Every structure is written in structure tokens, then in C-alpha cells.
Chain A
Amino acid sequence: MYSFILFFISIFAGFLGSLLGLGGGIIIVPALTLLFKVDIRYAVAASLISIIATSSTGAGNFIKEKLTNIRVAVLLELGTVAGALTGYFISSEINAKWLYLLFGFFLIFSALMMIRRRGDQLLSHPHPWSLKLGLSGTYSDGKKEPTPYHVAHVPLGLFSMYFAGILSALLGIGSGIFKVMAMDSAMKLPIKVSTATSNFMIGVTAAASAGAYFLRGDMRPEITSPVALGIFLGSWVGGRMMTKIQTSVLRRLFVVILLVVSFQMILKGLRL
């Protein structure tokens, strides 16, 4: 019975995640810890698996639509993988109390990021590293001609990805919100490209610590199988309904849910 409930929550997480461009981690970890009282370290490991599933499922569509910039993704993965390894080291030393508190504050940050106004600020001159590695690209936003874009502040982007990697390994999240923010605000990538590229990257970021968690025995099929299967189904349905659903209403509702859950996580952390 409990496995079925977790499966349905994971479908919801995958569905919402695909509609709002998130990994399911920010729903799965609170659900496992607050509802099922699972220790946060098992929850983090299960969540990392869901992120790999979300990323691998979504990547196909984004690549076909020519939105993913694989060159930018590979370069930024340097930062996220280094960060994820650092995060894994910290995870074995940090107290569960601090994980709850950090997660709670990250959820508040995510809620604030979801209500901010976003707009493309395309660049006319690329960063020298971007020129050297050929990072500029084009994307289609419904117009007949593809829109060209360049990449700015590459070192700042790499540095931001390092912190995104630490958060990912510590909290079992894809930290997609953080990655998208770094790509569209600092590196001036178009929003659609930064969302697709972030989705492509979160799988590798999660894998950097997921491999270690898997061998350490923290990934238990009793928890991870319903989560992965639910996320897989939810993101598949969400992807097909993307054009039929008004995401702005959903986004506002999700911000409220995030804020409520964040306070619960902080309260739980303070009680430990």
C-alpha cells in the first residue's frame, strides 16, 4: 500500500516537474522524509535516481527540438561534477539536522526564483572561451528563421555550476533552478536553451554522486523502484500535456506548496 502511495506521489512529481522544468527531487525528498519518515540519506539517494530518469527521458525531446546546447553542457559538467564530488564528501560528515535546514532554505530560494520575471537578454559579443570552444548556437522560438545566440561569462557559469553540484549531492536534487538561473542570468543563454541544457546536465550531475551512493548501499529498491517508475510515467504524461495546460496557474500553486513544505522541513530540522 505504502509503495503504491509513493508511486502515485512520484507520478505527480514527474508530471509537475516536466511541466515546470524541474527534477522531481524537491517533491520526492520532502515526501519520503515528512510522510513516510524515511531517513533523509535514503531519500537523497532515491531522489538522485529520479533525477537521472527525468534527465534521460526529457533529453531526447529537447535534442530533437534542437534546444540543448551539448557543447555548453559538457563544459559546465566540469563544474557540476567537481561540486557533486565535494558535496558527497560533505554528506558523510554533515548532521541530518543541517540537511533539513539547507533543504528548507533551498525550497524558499526555489519558490522565489519561480515567481521572478524572466526574459531573454541576448548578447552580441561572445566570451573568448565561447569563441574558442564554439559554444554559440541557434535555436528556434517559433519564428521561421532560427535565432542565433552567444555565450557570456563562461568562468562565472562554471563557478556557479560548482555550487549547483554541491547542492545536488547534499540534497538529492538536480538543482535545475540554480543551473537555469546561472545560464540565463550570467551566461545570457536564451531561456528555452538554458532549460533544455540544464535538463541534459542534471543526469550527469546526479550520476557523480549517485554511483557512490549506489555502491555504499544507500539506494534501496523498496524506495527507489516506485520513485523511478512513477517519475518516468509522470514526466511522460506531463511532456504530452505540456501544450494543453496553462502552466502559469500551476506555477503559482506550486510556489505555495514549496513554501509550505520548506517551513515543514525547517521545523523538522530545528526539532532534531
Chain B
Amino acid sequence: MNGQELFIARFLKWGVLISGLLMFVGLLKSIQISGNPFFNFQTYDQIPLSELITYYTKIQDWGTLCSYVGLGLLVLLPFIRVIITIFIFLKNKEYALSGIALTVLIGLIFGLYLGFQSY
């Protein structure tokens, strides 16, 4: 399994690099040098992601949108890592472990569903 494990390591490394680069570009484009960018976050105001994306698209804030793509990719990395694990176990005919990994994936997808429910 060693070669397959190294594939997971390489996948995670590249995933972090790409998402980090997207967030870096986004931060450079939209960074606020003066003022307090955290002032609006001192009280909690729940605005669903879809509304935020619509708003930033409307005002053409490509920096923030680029950061959101990087963020989304980073959140998805563990999901893809679990999917790769399922296939590795299947390939090695370790069906019990691939079933366990599939259950973990279902749990992760259920987490996303809970996020959608807040809409």
C-alpha cells in the first residue's frame, strides 16, 4: 500500500498549494490596509453562502470570490481524500475498510446537507 499512501500525500500537498495560492491572490486583491476589516464580524449575522456569492458577483469583487474558490477547495480536500481511500481499499480487496470509509464519506456529505438546510 506504500505507493498508494504516497499518492494520498502528494494529492494533499498539491491541494493545499493550489487553495493557498487562490486565497493569497484573493487576499492581495481585496485586503483592507486601513480600518478594521473584522469590525462587521463582532456580532454574528448569518448570511448563507449563496447570498454572499451573489453579492460579491454583483459588486464584481473578484478578489473575495477567488478567496471563496480557494476556501471551497480546501474544505473539499478531506472529502476527496476519503474517496481516494475508498478506491485504494477496494483495489486491495479490503471490503470491510472500504465500507467503513464509504460510511465516513456519507457522514461528510450529510454535514454538507446540514449546511444546505440553513438556507
Q: Chain A: residues with CB nearer than 8 A to chain B?
A: 1-3, 6, 32, 36-39, 41-42, 49, 52-53, 55-57, 59-61, 63-64, 66, 68, 70-71, 74-75, 77-78, 81-82, 84-85, 88-89, 96, 132-134, 203-204, 206-226, 228-229, 232
| Nearest residue, chain B, Cβ from A165 | B107
Given A71-B97, A133-B96, A226-B27, are A57 and B16 also a contact pair (CB < 8 Å)?
A: yes
| A219 neighbours in B (Cβ, 8 Å) | 71, 75
Instruction: Give the A-binding residues of B (Cβ under 8 A).
Output: 1-2, 5-6, 8-10, 12-13, 15-16, 19-20, 23-24, 26-27, 30-34, 36-38, 41-44, 46-49, 51-52, 64, 67-68, 70-72, 74-75, 77-79, 81-82, 85, 89, 94, 96-97, 100-101, 103-104, 107-108, 110-112, 114-116, 118-119
Q: Are B38 and A225 in contact (CB under 8 A)?
A: no
A225 in complex: contacting residue of B26, B103, B115, CB < 8 Å? B26
Residues of B within 8 A of A221 (CB): 23, 26-27, 30, 64, 67-68, 71
Describe B's contact surface by its main secondary structure.
helix
Contact B13 A57 (CB under 8 A): yes
- The reply to whether A39 and B44 form a contact with Cβ atoms under 8 Å apart is yes
From known contacts A1-B33, A64-B6, A229-B20, infer whether A49 and B75 are also in contact, taking CB-CB under 8 Å: yes
The answer to whether A132 touches B96, judged by C-beta atoms less than 8 angstroms apart, is yes
The answer to whether B46 and A75 have CB atoms under 8 Å apart is no
**Consensus secondary structure, chain A interface:** helix
Most B C-beta atoms less than 10 A away, residue of A63, A84, A85: A63
CA of A216 to CA of B47, assembled, Å: 7
Cα(A66)–Cα(B9), bound, Å: 11
Q: Determine the chain B residues whose CB is within 8 A of the CB of A74 once the complex forms.
A: 82, 85, 89, 97, 100-101, 104
Given contact pairs A56-B77, A82-B107, A133-B96, A216 touches B48 in the complex (Cβ within 8 A)? yes
The 9 closest A-B pairs by CB, nearest first: A215-B115, A221-B67, A212-B115, A207-B78, A81-B107, A60-B9, A63-B9, A211-B112, A39-B44
Given that A59-B9, A204-B82, A219-B71 are contacting pairs, would A78 and B104 also be in contact in the complex, using a CB cutoff of 8 Å?
yes
